[in-house]
Every structure is written in structure tokens, then in C-alpha cells.
Amino acid sequence: MATEPRQVPERDAPFTTVSGQPIRPLYTERDLPDPERIGLPGEFPYTRGVYPSMYRGRLWTMRQFAGFGTAEETNERFRYLLDHGQTGLSTAFDMPSLMGHDSDHPRSLGEVGREGVAVDTVDDMATLFQGIPLDEVSVSMTINAPAAVMLAFFVAAAEERGVPAERLSGTIQTDILKEYIAQKEWCFPVDPAMRLVGDLIEWCSEHMPRWHPVSISGYHIREAGSTAAQELAFTLKDGLTYVEQAVARGLDVDDFAPRLSFFFNAHIDLFEEVAKYRAARRIWARELRDTFGARDERSLLMRFHTQTAGVSLTAQQPLNNVVRTTIEALAGVLGGTQSLHTNSYDEALALPSEDAVRVALRTQQIIAHESGVTNTIDPLGGSYFVEGLTDEMERQAYDYFAKIDELGGMVEAVKRNYPQREIADAAFRYQQEVDRGERLLVGVNSYTVDDEPPLEILRIDPALERKQMDRLAGVRAARGARAVEDALARLREDAATEGRNLMPALVDAARAHCSEGEIVEALQAVFGTYTEAPVF
């Protein structure tokens, strides 16, 4: 039985975006900025897109996020997605892998393969991409604190198949500041963790020219409850901090900046999201050129992946999530994304089923081939509303930059819990609006139904955890114990030596079949561990 909304806002009441930005009833030509701030696609400041032809020349990469169980199960899902038209792979790791634990660690109990794929050694990485041409398919890996370890596994696994590092293309997230701010998956204290990010950027700039060593991520900042403006500001400030660190190491900005990429959320307020992406491109281009002196145009191009908002999905009336995901995907496309993941309608309940994954992928394909939005370049360019909102998003981002600089920069701001507190406050305000019925969520606090039929969901076989643990035990039994000891000893020595890049030692440890947990524990013996001061 259907029910009416608990409370419907009056139509003449003031409206705001999802993140609280006041919206006026009408926008006119007076809201348009200087034409040079809008520009043309492919021209500075890239408000209208980073490429002149955008989707007229090439569609975005359809890159569905996937990972569950052991490497075998995820390899099957990768093949399924490629067979159904996906054009790039995106790897989800399980919680133990994200936290630097092996599958047989006590803290891994009950979590192995649950929220992503379990990868303990180079052997798992080899199985994960078995039968997939790594020199042809672009691979993305969403992992941060132990990102350098996982990249070492990937490089070593590719080597075993005769594919050298310089021919690998893709992205690894590596955005550790975002972890302390929002996602809370860390292995080391802030400063040595930042050193690892710098090591990875430096090593990739020399050895992996087709690889993006950092995907600066606003996605998880938004999922933690931030506003769009906070996502924009904190993400860009994280990215600018990584650039600053690499330049301080002596790297030329144009040697690494073209391989930096971004990862943004696509939330449900379509126009606010489009404005956020436009403002992001403009700010990045200006800062790289004017602050860091980048001369290579490629350094100025903010290229980004987009994922639709997980937090917007509801367990109630889950088929409604198809509509939500479609609107959010459209925001990413109209905002000029280079790569897109569409969430599945059942993800508020479980990992996505094959049917739900197929619908999510088809959503992108329908937008690309049936909607007509790709027929012209930047169809929202010059919109009074969109351009005015873009300017406002940019203004708010620079306000946050100023506050962060007053605290001594982003690293110091993170240590002092400034962005964490801002996000917590924003999340609390939003939930209060939902609880009071001031913000309507269809199927949750309005238009609800009684006795919803159950949805068939994907269930992970608990036996897979034992299978993975046995797999790890088999690797340990078959490898050379002396080689493992030597590799870990070298890693500890390099970690204790200031200024020494850790990537060569990590790749050697991967070749010796050291496990992720062994490698992380070797580094923790030098770096220590991290405990967050809670923010309420």
C-alpha cells in the first residue's frame, strides 16, 4: 500500500542543491562569467572539456568496478564485462587487502572476498588477469595505503607474461590523504605514507609512461557526507599537495603531471555536479600553469573518472536506483568525464548480481548511443544557470583553499582533523534534513510502500575464505624462504634510508612471492602505525 510524502516543501520556498547551495528561481545573462572563463573545449581554461572533439571523437571509457571472492571469481566477472562491451577494467579489493592484511590475519576473519577480491601475493594478481591482454586493456585498481605494494604485484605478474612495465596502461588510486580524510583505510603514519606516494609517482614517471600513478579521489570524500563544494576543494587541494611534494623532490612538473588523474562522485543533483566538474578543470589548469609553472599543455588537463553515488542508492524500492544512477551518469557525461562507472541497483543490499551489473553497463550504452547527448560538444556550455553555478563552486573551493593554507597546508590540516570535521558537520546537517522530511528521498521518507517483494542478491560463498587461505599457504610452502627473507630485509633497510625510493625493493619482494601482509609489516617495523584522533 502506497503512502504520501510525510512533508512536501512549498513550491515558493527557497530551494537548495543537495549540498545546500542556494538556488535562485531564475538565471539570466548577467550570471554568465567573462567569455574567456568559459572558453572552448580543448582550450585553456578547459571549462568546456579537455579535448576539442570530446565524445564526437571518442566516447568515455566504460569501466565497471568489479571484485569479489578469490582471483578466479573476479577474473570470470572481468571476462563477463568485457564480453558485454566494457572497455576497461576496474578492480575492487577486499577489506583485508585494502588494510594491508593477509587473508589469514586474525582481523581478516569474515571479510575475505566480501567487498572485493582477495589479493595476497603476485600469484593472485597473475590469476586475476589470466587470459586478459595486459598490454591492450587499461586496468584501474582502487587501493591506497598499500598501493605501491599492489602495483609491484601487478608489474611482477605482467613481467611473468612477458609484458614489461612500460607497456602497461591504467591507474592506481594511491590517494592517501583522502584515506585520512574520509575512507579511513591506512597502514602507516601520514608522513611515511606521503613518502610512498612520492616514490610511486617518481618511479612511474621513469618506468611506466602509460600509467597514472595517482587517481586523486573526491569520490570517497563525497561518500563520507561532504558537500559538492567540499569534495571539489579537498580533492583539488590533495592533488596540488602531491604536485608540491613531487616538485620538492626535484621532479619537473611536466614529467609527471600529465599522468595524474582524478576520480569524482556523480551525485543526484545533476546541474550542481556538472558545475563541479567544470570548476575543477578550470582551477586545476590555472593552478598548474600559474602556481607550478607547467609548460606542457597535457599537465593542465584534468582528466577524470566518475562513479555514480553509492550513498544515493536505497535499500527500499531498489529498482528506483536505476533512475538515480541514470541521472548521475548523465551528470558525468554532460560534465565531460573521461571514464565512467555506473552503480548497480542492488548495491545498497549486496555486491551486484550479474543481471544488475548488465543493467548498469547498458545504462551507459543507452546514454552513449540513444540519448543524443553526445551529438554535440558540451551541450550545457553557456547555460546561465550552469555557468553561474560553476563560478560559485569555484569561489567556494578557493575559500577552502585559503582556510587550509592558514593551517599550514593540507597535510597539516589533515593532522589537525580540519577536513574531517567539515565533512562530519555536513553529513550531520544532511541527515537532519532527511529525518525532518525537509529533503525527500523517494521510497525512504516519501512515497513508501508496504510489503516490498524480496530482491534476489549475490551471496558470497563462505567457503571462498578458506580457499583463499589455503591458496596463500600453498604459495608460502612453494617459495624460496631465503629469497623472501632477503627481499624483506632489503625493504626494511631502504625504508630506513632517507631519500631512497622504495619501489625497486617492493618489486623485488613481489618477485620473491612475499605476501602483502609481510611487506606491510616490514615497512611498519620502520614507519610505525597510525591511530586517528576521532572527530564527532
pLDDT for 69 equals 84
152 has a pLDDT exceeding 60: yes
Share of the chain above pLDDT 90, in %: 83
* Residues 113/69, Cβ–Cβ less than 8 Å: yes
Rounded-to-integer distance, Cα 458 and Cα 319, Å: 16
Reduced to 3 states (helix: H, G, I; strand: E, B; else coil), residue 419 is: helix
The hierarchical CATH code for the domain 15-38+50-369+376-435 is 3.20.20.240
Q: Shortest CA distance to 264 belongs to which of 311, 304, 224?
A: 304
For the entire predicted model, the pTM comes to 0.92
Q: What is the pLDDT of residues 249-303, one digit of tens each?
A: 999 999 999 999 999 999 999 999 999 999 999 999 999 999 999 999 999 999 9
* Res 420 pLDDT > 60: yes
Mean pLDDT confidence for 325-345: 97
Residue 217 bridge partners (DSSP):
263
pLDDT at 459: 80
Query: Average pLDDT of the chain?
Result: 93
- How far apart (Å, rounded) are the C-alpha atoms in residues 307 and 208? 25
Q: What are the extents of the domains in the chain?
A: 15-38+50-369+376-435
Average pLDDT (317-339) is 97
At 536, the pLDDT band (50, 70, 90 cuts) reads low
The predicted-structure confidence for 293-315, as pLDDT tens digits, reads as follows: 999 999 999 999 999 999 999 99
What nine digits make up the cell of 526? Answer: 620502520
DSSP symbols for 97-161: HHHT--TTSGGGTTTTTTSSB---SHHHHHHHTTTS-TTTS-EEEE--TTHHHHHHHHHHHHHHT
